[in-house]
């Protein structure tokens, strides 16, 4: 980001799902690289977020908030609170999501809908809340987190694959709606990283997964953080509506 949008009291970066592994990676990288006006949403626990802020000597007070991103009233109320404390949210990084395993003929309707809500509805409502401000300022960055499985599918995770594919469609549509206001909307389709859901997988399965990655490793904080830093900066002004595959060459 250039000086007009970095390290100011009036332009903030909002990260949803910050208590997860990927959200923590992004927060850590941005703090390490000089960004300070960062706001973090969490659903259950803020312990990890606080620790990361404290590592970089940043007071987490007024920078973390709990919200149900599937509830529009909750999102609107938090939007009002954020504006009072931070003025303008110039960047939204929609990381929040969830996954429930189950074959398509076994997963319950409620579980399927829950995953769609946690991954797609949350990104939609959070973006919707702050887009009017971005339009007024004639600047904004929205980054949605999709997944490699949105392209490929995977057995036992139909709801998650459907949700991540839907995020790609949402990204492309919103990018066309907002381009005239210099607001870019992109999605990052993640492969396998050293954080998040991969920690629930056995070492044997991790080894097998790596065999199918041309770079023979999982992604790390620098891989994801450097891409985020580029996309929120002025250098990426002409990049919008893109699904950026960050997967070590897997597809």
Active-site residue numbers? 160
Q: Are 116 and 157 in contact (CB under 8 A)?
A: no
CA–CA separation, 81 vs 104, rounded Å? 40
Q: Are 232 and 91 in contact (CB under 8 A)?
A: yes
Q: Are 140 and 180 in contact (CB under 8 A)?
A: no
Nearest Cα neighbor of 119 from 159, 77, 158 is 159
Nearest Cα neighbor of 186 from 176, 197, 200, 199 is 176
């Amino acid at each position: 980001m250039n000086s007009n949008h970095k390290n100011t009291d009036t332009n903030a970066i909002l990260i949803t799902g910050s208590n997860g592994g990927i959200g923590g990676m992004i927060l850590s990288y941005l703090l390490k690289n000089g960004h300070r006006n960062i706001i973090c949403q969490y659903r259950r626990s803020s312990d990890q977020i606080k620790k990361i802020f404290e590592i970089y000597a940043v007071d987490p007070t007024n920078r973390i908030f709990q919200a149900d991103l599937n509830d529009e009233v909750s999102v609107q109320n938090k939007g009002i609170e954020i504006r009072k404390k931070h003025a303008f949210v110039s960047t939204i990084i929609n990381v929040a999501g969830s996954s429930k395993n189950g074959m398509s003929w076994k997963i319950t309707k409620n579980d399927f809908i829950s995953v769609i809500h946690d991954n797609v509805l949350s990104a939609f409502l959070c973006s919707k809340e702050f887009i009017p401000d971005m339009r007024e300022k004639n600047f904004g960055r929205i980054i949605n987190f999709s997944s490699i499985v949105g392209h490929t599918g995977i057995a036992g995770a139909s709801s998650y694959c459907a949700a991540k594919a839907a995020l790609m469609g949402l990204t492309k549509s919103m990018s066309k709606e907002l381009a005239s206001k210099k607001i870019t909307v992109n999605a990052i389709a993640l492969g396998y990283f050293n954080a998040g859901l991969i920690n629930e997988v056995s070492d044997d399965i991790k080894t097998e997964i790596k065999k199918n990655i041309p770079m023979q490793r999982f992604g790390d904080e620098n891989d994801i953080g450097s891409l985020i830093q580029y996309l929120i900066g002025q250098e990426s002004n002409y990049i919008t509506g893109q699904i950026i595959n960050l997967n070590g060459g897997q597809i």
